[in-house]
Amino acid sequence: MTQQRRVRKAVFPVAGLGTRFLPATKAIPKEMLTVVDKPVIQYVVDEARAAGIEHFIFVTGRNKAVIEDHFDIQVELYDTLRKRGKLDELGNLQAMQPKPGQTSFTRQQEPLGLGHAVWCARELVGDEPFALLLPDMVMQHDKGCLTGMVEQYHKVGGNVISVEEVPEEETHRYGVVGVGEDISEDGFRINAMVEKPPMGTAPSNYFINGRYILQPEIFSILETQETGAGNEIQITDAMLKLAEKQDFSGYRFRGNTFDCGSKEGFIRANVSFALKRDDIRVKVEDDLRRMLDTLL
């Protein structure tokens, strides 16, 4: 087996406008909305760190400076917590904090599409494989989604895309892959990729759920700045071109994914993560039962 180059860097595209979440996202980036007590972006950065990522690259836009502040040290706050003896709170903050030099921020300048946002990270990624995590998608699983993907990548190399099943009638809303031969319990060869296939034409019911491991050759394809669906520069189009030269495997993610860029997904995430928290579970569960009983 050939030794694969390690996946050390992750790209987080956070330059989208979040129009589905207006008016909340008028002044606050959607990535800073909180699920229980942590901003959405923190869940995704934690998932990347658990998978061994050492460098966190954020592609930001206007109004997103607060994301940079969130990942910085807050000297006054840390001092106050220390003075008040709130050492658990301080420890938690410090554990979430990337180390000096582990973060980079670049601006997309214009929201020309996800593919364009990824291309903006080309100089920071350089010539090595990298992870791409869509921060809207928050995953819930004992083993992080990216951790499973990195394990698969070390076995088979190439490019890895995480997928999940959706009911067939919903496939037209997503990027969908075609399923080839199995390569492991969770992995299979991808033999087709389609962005938002018209009803009844999807090659499978496995949709791309927002986690990718990509080889750096994707950047020279994105360089052409070709636009696709919605007149945006699409990552799926670039991956299709890359698939002519390189292998793509699918990783079946077996946890829960919440699309926190949509109102329903965000509320489901809050309920589900709250129900997994020892400190608030019982109270939240009681309240939810009572609310549902009143409705029925």
162 binds ligand UTP (CB under 6 A): no
Q: Which of 9, 51, 57, 135 binds ligand UTP (CB under 6 A)?
A: 135
- Give bridge partners of residue 58 from the DSSP assignment: 12, 105
Q: Nearer to ligand UTP by C-beta: 21 or 251?
A: 21
Chain-centroid distance of CA 35 in Å reads 15
Tokens 């892959």 label which residue?
177
Q: Nearer to ligand UTP by C-beta: 118 or 194?
A: 118
Q: Which two tokens stand for residue 207?
A: 């949709």
129 binds ligand UTP (CB under 6 A): no
117 binds ligand UTP (CB under 6 A): yes
Q: Nearer to ligand UTP by C-beta: 20 or 141?
A: 20
Q: Which two tokens stand for residue 285?
A: 């569960």
In angstroms, the CA 145 to CA 25 distance is 27
Min separation Cβ 165 and ligand UTP, Å:
20
Tokens 């495997």 label which residue?
249
Q: Which two tokens stand for residue 25?
A: 């996202």
Min separation Cβ 136 and ligand UTP, Å:
5
Min separation Cβ 50 and ligand UTP, Å:
20
Q: Nearer to ligand UTP by C-beta: 57 or 150?
A: 57
136 binds ligand UTP (CB under 6 A): yes
Q: Which of 24, 28, 36, 112 binds ligand UTP (CB under 6 A)?
A: 112
> Are 144 and 150 contacting, i.e. CB atoms less than 8 angstroms apart?
no
- Vertex 240: Cα angle to 60 and 234 (nearest 5): 30
User: What would the x/- binding string for ligand UTP be over residues 3 to 22, using CB under 6 A?
Assistant: ----------xxxxxxxxx-
133 binds ligand UTP (CB under 6 A): no
| Region binding ligand UTP by CB under 6 A among candidate stretches 67-75, 111-119, 159-167, 273-281 | 111-119
Q: Nearer to ligand UTP by C-beta: 53 or 274?
A: 53
Residues 22-61 that bind ligand UTP (CB under 6 A): 59
- Give bridge partners of residue 177 from the DSSP assignment: 193, 206
Cis peptide before 98, with omega less than 30 degrees from 0?
Answer: no
Residue 199 class from Cβ within 10 Å (0-12 exposed, 13-18 middle, 19+ buried)? exposed
Contacts of 206 (CB under 8 A, 6+ apart): 163, 164, 165, 176, 177, 179, 250, 252
CB neighbours of residue 72 within 10 Å: 11
159 binds ligand UTP (CB under 6 A): no
111 binds ligand UTP (CB under 6 A): yes
Q: Nearer to ligand UTP by C-beta: 111 or 178?
A: 111
- Give bridge partners of residue 10 from the DSSP assignment: 56, 131
**Residue whose C-beta lies closest to ligand UTP:** 16
Residues forming the site for ligand UTP (CB under 6 A): 13-21, 59, 108, 111-114, 116-117, 134-136, 261
